[in-house]
């Protein structure tokens, strides 16, 4: 987001939760992020390359391509625990956002947008260890196309911002396995800590604490190779911080801690997630 005097800002605010604003066609964005996840049976580091483009003032496209390293451990029937390291591309995601409603005034804005998503199976899904194929949830990708749709609503009132996102993703089947669909509800609150007021005379560093509640309900995985159905609920609390050292660079960092999880899958109990990103506005 570019901090503009006298406006509520552009189409960016929270770290994970979708903002209902659409970025300007004149300011494409590159976002480079690194995330890490620790779980009972998984250690993952993910580098994601994103390109965001405002096709029109009311339509935005977001292309994301991750590179993933995974260390997993799993049990083979009749044998002990196996360890495996994997590295490669994850699944590419193309997300579209269409503005349905937006009213902007001085340092205030109300926005509503529709979301659509296509997931391409670019991640490897047939990795084996000792002749045993890893469970699908431990692969770099499920090997199947995915499709999603949802909506986002954002309210900005001077230093305060709140966003709500609802999203549903459907996975197609591949090699007799179909991962369960997902329903997501995200809630985010953002606060401009500094500066308390914008100055028209000089550029100012902005500091913005963010807190997000990220919720997912996942339906049952189906297929002969599924060892655990994976159905259940997962909720993360994700406090974070955004720093704008200039009008063309944004730094983001967040820590995610699970506060509720009933999912029983091959990844195991989630422990903590870390996230850091740099945005470049052109």
In a domain, 239, yes or no: yes
Q: What angle do CA 106, 109, 110 make, to 5 degrees?
A: 155
Cβ atoms of 188 and 200 closer than 8 Å: no
In a domain, 22, yes or no: no
Q: Please, how many CA atoms are within 13 Å of residue 268, restricted to the half-sphere of its CB?
A: 14
- In angstroms, the CA 60 to CA 77 distance is 48
pTM for the predicted model, two decimal places: 0.88
Cβ-based neighbours of 104, under 8 Å, separated by 6 or more: 7, 8
* Structure tokens that stand for 70 in this block: 């995974």
Amino acid 23: pLDDT: 93
Question: pLDDT tens-digit profile of 20-66?
Answer: 999 999 999 999 999 999 999 899 999 999 999 999 999 999 999 99
Domain assignment present for residue 11? The answer is no
Question: Residue 219 in contact with residue 249, Cβ under 8 Å?
Answer: no
Mapped onto helix, strand or coil, the DSSP state of residue 138 is helix
Q: Output the pLDDT for position 225.
A: 53
Q: For the chain, how far is it from start to end, CA to CA, in angstroms?
A: 11
**Is the residue at 201 inside a domain?**
yes
CATH number at residue 204: 2.40.160.40
User: Which residue from 216, 224, 139, 217 is spatially nearest to 178, judged by alpha carbons?
Assistant: 224
User: Domain tally for the chain?
Assistant: 1
- Integer angstrom CA distances of residue 207 from 30, 181, 196, 251: 20, 37, 10, 10
The SS3 call for residue 136 is: helix
- pLDDT value of position 223: 75
Q: How far apart are CA 176 and CA 178, in angstroms?
A: 7
Residue 138 phi, psi dihedral angles, 5° rounding? -95, 0
pLDDT-flagged residues of the chain (< 70): 1-13, 74-81, 224-229
Does a structural domain hold residue 15? no
With respect to residue 4, please indicate whether it lies within any of the assigned structural domains. no
Peptide bond between residue 169 and the one before it cis (omega within 30 degrees of 0) = no
94 and 62 Cβ atoms separated by less than 8 Å: yes
DSSP 48-81: EEEEEEEEETTEEEEEEEEEEEEEEEEE-TTS-E
Residue-level pLDDT at 13: 58
Is residue 9, in this structure, part of any structural domain at all? no
- Helix (H) and strand (E) counts in the chain: 0, 17
Give me the pLDDT at residue 84, please: 84
Which structural domain range is residue 241 located in? 29-281
Whether 96 is covered by a domain: the verdict is yes
Token pair, residue 187, equals 């809630």
CB contact set of 38 (below 8 Å; sequence gap of 6+)? 270, 271, 272, 273
């Amino acid at each position: 987001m570019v901090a503009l005097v006298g406006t509520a800002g552009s189409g960016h605010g929270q770290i994970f939760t979708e903002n209902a604003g659409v970025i300007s066609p004149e300011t494409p964005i590159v976002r480079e992020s690194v995330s890490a996840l620790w779980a009972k049976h998984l250690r993952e580091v993910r580098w994601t390359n994103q390109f965001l483009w405002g096709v029109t003032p009311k339509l935005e496209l977001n292309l994301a391509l991750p590179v993933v390293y995974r260390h997993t451990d799993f049990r083979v029937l009749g044998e002990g625990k196996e360890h495996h390291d994997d590295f490669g591309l994850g699944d590419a995601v193309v997300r579209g956002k269409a503005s349905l409603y937006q009213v902007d005034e001085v340092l205030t804005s109300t926005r509503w947008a529709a979301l659509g998503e296509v997931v391409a199976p670019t991640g490897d899904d047939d990795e084996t260890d000792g002749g045993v194929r890893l469970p699908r949830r431990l692969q770099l990708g499920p090997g199947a196309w995915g499709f999603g749709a949802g909506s986002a609503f954002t309210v900005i009132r001077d230093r305060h911002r709140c966003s709500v996102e609802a999203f549903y993703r459907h996975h197609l089947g591949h090699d007799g396995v179909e991962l369960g669909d997902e329903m997501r509800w995200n809630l985010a609150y953002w606060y401009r800590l500094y500066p308390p007021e914008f100055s028209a005379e000089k550029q100012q560093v902005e500091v913005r604490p963010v807190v997000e509640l990220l919720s997912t309900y996942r339906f049952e995985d189906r297929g002969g190779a599924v060892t655990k159905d994976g159905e259940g609920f997962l909720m993360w609390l994700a406090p974070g911080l955004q720093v704008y050292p200039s009008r063309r660079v944004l730094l983001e960092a967040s820590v995610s801690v699970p506060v509720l999880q009933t999912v029983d899958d091959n990844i195991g109990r989630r422990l903590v997630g870390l996230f850091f990103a740099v945005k470049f506005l052109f």
